[in-house]
């Protein structure tokens, strides 16, 4: 379970998160929607401490992610993250990209790590590309590679930061399909996205971010189809 | 060290001596850079047009100037002419070698600059009716110049510093002057600092300026 | 020729240190690094050699010609290489570090496995250029009394007064060495960088 309590964050003078409260249960799929700059991505980065927070706390299975005593590397093994710009390692093949972290972070043997990597690459539909370098893969393939890389660590939680925003339209589908597959397998997912359709069809709950706070939180049937808040309605009208 | 009559301390007139020598450094550098750049642009153009043939012939020749130490080139050149009959002064020999050296470096830069202009841009110009030379003058030159100005400045500054090597032929430019003064005044540290300041105060601002220009141009 | 290689190796180590000092160091360290770098890049190499020779000599520190050349060329190499390394590091997007850390890698694992291999690929070409430069600059050793290739040639030539012929041979030797080195470096890069 991820507990986010009264989290605030500033970038210099700019207050980006103004008190976020959210609890993510195991197996939940939560979509996070909102305008650019509303703080959605920042909050994801705070969860695995790639960004610091100024007040409040984030507890991952009871462990404070931002406490000085916490070993953040151990914590991050359990949280997988996929970025908007996939950030594949260009100097490693697809197989090496996925097997590296299990090998050097989890300490698995090369054979075990490779086995895990092959399995995850097949999982996302890239078994025919295992020995290719990322430069030879399309954006959608590289993104699926990034998903496989994060999954190979067998995390309890997966964070997705607008993973389809940088893709050409015809490649978006294959990545969303992979996300859908994961949600059906029971992976706990926090998905920041602009794809409202996806959020409506796949999530258990949707959070609408507005200027640094969660304006509305609830099942898709409510937040997307029948929002309570005016601001939510305005946003959805613009986006639909 | 001591008060032998051979040594005299650094005097004000020595400063004038250094300034004069600095002037000679500038003279030989400016000559080499300007003439070398002109030739280099021509060679660079040839290289970019003639491609493989050019690379194998002119390119290979120019390459020699970059693969042999400048010092050796100077010595060779200076000692070549007495063999065939006439003598060159250190100034003449040094300038000529520096010109060849500069032009080979500028050729590579110029060629890069021409190649940096996208083919599609040039095609657009030609399809509007511009002649080949108009294309060169109004399209390639401005775009290519922006692309390679920092590299060219690097070459120019390099030649300024390398002009110090002409001292080996006896030409009394700044570094040679400093050697002479050091022997006489036995104050090497002071003199080297002064000389260092001279080179530095020319080279540093120019390289900073081009770095800033490059950053500025990169953003548009 | 060994001096050129030695000066290059020392230059790489120093240059890397300077680059790190400049990028990550405290204010005084960073200033020191910048000072070294700009001095090395904006004054003639020969002047730098003279400094280690005559300059230090004024303080009673008389280095052997070998050391003068080694220190002088290393000083010079380090300055240029520091900028090369810094450019390489800056060219790697911060997102690579982010991705690696998000997988749970430590800072040092990230550096060794992800950042450094990519930097190496970027700086390989400038590094080979600097090596060629180092070889060509080693001829300056002749002017401070150190006898490597050029100095040896001058010694022989002065004995026989056949300056031109001897130096022509020397020029040819340098040319061949440079060409061989560049060819070797190119081959190596094909093998190393398949992506």
CB contact under 8 Å between C143 and B199, yes or no, is: no
Chain C residues within 8 angstroms (CB to CB) of chain A: 93, 95-96, 98-106, 109, 113-114, 117-118, 121, 194-195
CA torsion C50-C54-C56-C60 (nearest 10°) is 160
What is the predicted pLDDT for the residue at B10? 62
In tens, the pLDDT along A82-112 reads 988 888 898 889 999 999 988 888 888 999 9
Chain A nearest C-alpha distance from C59 (Å): 50
Chain C nearest C-alpha distance from B197 (Å): 8
Q: Give residues with Cβ within 8 angstroms of B21, minimum separation 6.
A: B172, B173, B174, B176, B177, B178
CB contact under 8 Å between C55 and B68, yes or no, is: no
Q: Answer whether A150's CB lies under 8 Å from A118's CB.
A: no
| Chains touching chain C, criterion 3+ CB pairs below 8 Å | A, B
Which of the four pLDDT bands, split at 50, 70 and 90, describes residue A216?
A: confident
Give mean pLDDT, residues C137-144. Answer: 83
* Helices B141-162 and B90-116, packing angle to 10 deg: 150
Which of the four pLDDT bands, split at 50, 70 and 90, describes residue B4?
A: very low
Cβ density class A32-50: b for 16+ within 10 Å, e for less? bbbbeebbbbbbbbbbbbb
What is the predicted pLDDT for the residue at A31? 92
In tens, the pLDDT along B157-198 reads 889 888 888 887 777 788 888 888 777 777 777 788 888 888
In tens, the pLDDT along C81-134 reads 998 898 888 888 889 999 999 998 888 888 888 998 889 888 898 899 899 989
Enumerate the domain spans of chain C. 2-192
Q: Give residues with Cβ within 8 angstroms of B72, minimum separation 6.
A: C139, C150, C167, C170, C171, C174
List the one residue out of A42, A36, A41, A34 whose CA is nearest residue A8: A42
From residue B39, alpha-carbon distances to B20, B101, B109, B137, B154 in Å are: 29, 11, 12, 17, 17
Within-domain flag for B3: no
In tens, the pLDDT along A28-53 reads 999 999 888 778 889 999 998 888 88
**CB count in 10 Å sphere of residue B126:** 13
Place of tokens 């509007």: B128
Whole-angstrom distance, CA of residue A153 vs CA of residue C104? 9
Q: Which class does domain C2-192 fall in?
A: mainly alpha
- Residue B129, sorted as left (phi over 0), alpha (psi -120 to 50) or beta, turns out to be left
Query: In CATH, what number is assigned to the domain containing residue B183?
Result: 1.10.3720.10
Q: Give residues with Cβ within 8 angstroms of B121, minimum separation 6.
A: B139, B143
Share of chain A above pLDDT 90, in %: 34
Inform me whether the C-beta atom of residue C125 falls under 8 Å from chain B C-beta atoms: no
User: How close are the terminal C-alpha atoms of chain C, in Å?
Assistant: 33
What is the predicted pLDDT for the residue at B57? 84
CB contact under 8 Å between B69 and C137, yes or no, is: yes
In tens, the pLDDT along A59-72 reads 998 888 888 888 88
**CB count in 10 Å sphere of residue B116:** 14
DSSP code string of A33-74: EE-TTSSHHHHHHHHTTSS--SEEEEEETTEETT-TTS-HHH
Which of the four pLDDT bands, split at 50, 70 and 90, describes residue B26?
A: confident
Give mean pLDDT, residues B47-55. Answer: 81
- Residue A125, sorted as left (phi over 0), alpha (psi -120 to 50) or beta, turns out to be left
Q: Which domain holds residue B23?
A: 12-218
- Domains contained in chain B, number: 1
What is the predicted pLDDT for the residue at A36? 81
């Amino acid at each position: 379970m991820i507990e986010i309590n009264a989290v605030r964050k500033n970038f210099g003078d700019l207050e980006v998160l103004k008190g976020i409260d959210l609890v993510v249960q195991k197996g939940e799929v939560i979509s996070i929607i909102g305008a650019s700059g509303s703080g959605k991505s920042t909050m994801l980065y705070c969860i695995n401490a790639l960004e610091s927070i100024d007040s409040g706390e984030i507890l991952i299975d009871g462990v404070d992610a931002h406490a000085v005593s916490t070993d953040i590397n151990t914590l991050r093994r359990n949280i997988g993250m996929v970025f908007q710009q996939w950030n594949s390692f260009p100097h490693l093949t697809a197989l090496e990209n996925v097997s590296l972290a299990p090998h050097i972070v989890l300490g698995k043997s090369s054979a075990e790590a490779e086995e895990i990597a092959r399995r995850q690459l097949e999982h996302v539909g890239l078994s025919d590309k295992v020995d290719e370098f990322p430069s030879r893969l399309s954006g959608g393939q590289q993104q699926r590679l990034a998903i496989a890389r994060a999954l190979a660590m067998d995390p309890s939680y997966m964070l997705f930061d607008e993973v389809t925003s940088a893709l050409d339209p015809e490649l978006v589908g294959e990545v969303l399909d992979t996300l859908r597959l994961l949600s059906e397998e029971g992976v706990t997912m926090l998905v920041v996205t602009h794809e409202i359709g996806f959020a409506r069809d796949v999530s258990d709950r949707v959070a609408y971010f507005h200027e640094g706070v969660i304006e509305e939180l609830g099942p898709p049937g409510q937040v997307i189809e029948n929002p309570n808040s005016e601001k939510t309605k305005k946003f959805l009208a613009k986006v639909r | 060290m001591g008060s032998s009559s051979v040594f005299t301390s650094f005097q004000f007139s020595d400063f004038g001596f250094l300034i004069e020598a600095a002037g000679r450094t500038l003279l030989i550098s400016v000559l080499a850079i300007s003439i070398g750049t002109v030739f280099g642009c021509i060679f660079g153009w040839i290289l970019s047009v003639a491609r493989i043939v050019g690379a194998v012939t002119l390119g290979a020749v120019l390459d020699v100037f970059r693969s042999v130490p400048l010092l050796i080139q100077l010595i060779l050149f200076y000692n070549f002419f007495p063999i065939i009959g006439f003598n060159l002064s250190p100034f003449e020999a040094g300038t000529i070698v520096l010109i060849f050296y500069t032009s080979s470096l500028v050729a590579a830069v110029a060629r890069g600059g021409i190649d940096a202009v996208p083919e599609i841009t040039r095609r657009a110009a030609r399809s509007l009716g511009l002649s080949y030379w108009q294309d060169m003058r109004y399209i390639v030159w401005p775009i290519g110049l922006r692309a390679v100005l920092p590299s060219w400045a690097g070459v120019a500054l390099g030649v300024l510093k390398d002009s110090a090597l002409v001292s080996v032929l006896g030409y009394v430019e700044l570094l040679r002057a400093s050697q002479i003064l050091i022997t006489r005044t036995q104050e090497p540290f002071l003199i080297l600092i002064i000389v260092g300041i001279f080179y530095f105060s020319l080279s540093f601002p120019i390289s900073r300026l081009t770095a800033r220009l490059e950053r500025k141009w990169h953003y548009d | 020729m060994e001096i050129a290689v030695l000066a290059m190796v020392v230059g790489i180590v120093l240059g890397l240190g300077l680059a790190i000092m400049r990028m990550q160091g405290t204010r005084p360290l960073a200033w020191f690094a910048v000072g070294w770098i700009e001095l090395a890049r904006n004054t003639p190499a020969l002047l730098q050699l003279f400094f280690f020779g005559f300059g230090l000599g004024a303080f009673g520190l008389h280095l052997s010609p070998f050391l003068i050349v080694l220190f002088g060329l290393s000083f010079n190499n380090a300055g240029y290489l520091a900028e090369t390394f810094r450019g390489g590091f800056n060219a790697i997007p911060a997102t690579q570090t982010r991705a690696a850390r998000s997988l749970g890698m430590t800072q040092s694992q990230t550096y060794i496995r992800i950042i450094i291999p990519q930097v190496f690929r970027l700086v390989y070409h400038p590094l080979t250029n600097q090596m060629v430069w180092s070889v060509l600059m080693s001829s300056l050793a002749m002017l401070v009394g150190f006898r490597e290739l050029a100095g040896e040639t001058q010694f022989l030539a002065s004995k026989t007064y056949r300056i031109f012929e001897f130096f022509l041979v020397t020029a040819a030797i340098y040319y061949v060495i440079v060409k061989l080195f560049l060819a070797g470096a190119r081959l190596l890069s094909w093998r190393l960088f398949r992506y």
